[in-house]
Amino acid sequence: MPVALPAGCPGGGGELVVERVATQHVEELAAPAGVITRFEVPIGRWVVGGRRVQPRHPEQTSDALGAAGAQLGGRAVAFAG
């Protein structure tokens, strides 16, 4: 599931350059089997100022990527609690 970068800089409308696309996996409990959603998260950087930008989809439970990029979904967390 692709995640969108913002259309422009909220502080001045500068250009945003995509540096890479990272993935995150969220596993959700569902009957009879679990559902795994793969989020494709573009990592960008503002040309002016160089600030890093990482968007987040509403269904993501964390901003973690890389080795920590696999999480349990909201229903799985509620079930465990």
Record the pTM.
0.64
Q: How far apart are CA 15 and CA 7, in angstroms?
A: 9
**Would you place residue 9 in the very low, low, confident or very high pLDDT band (cuts 50, 70, 90)?**
low
Q: How far apart are CA 30 and CA 41, in angstroms?
A: 24
Dump pLDDT digits (tens) for 10-52.
666 677 888 888 888 887 776 667 788 888 888 988 888 888 8
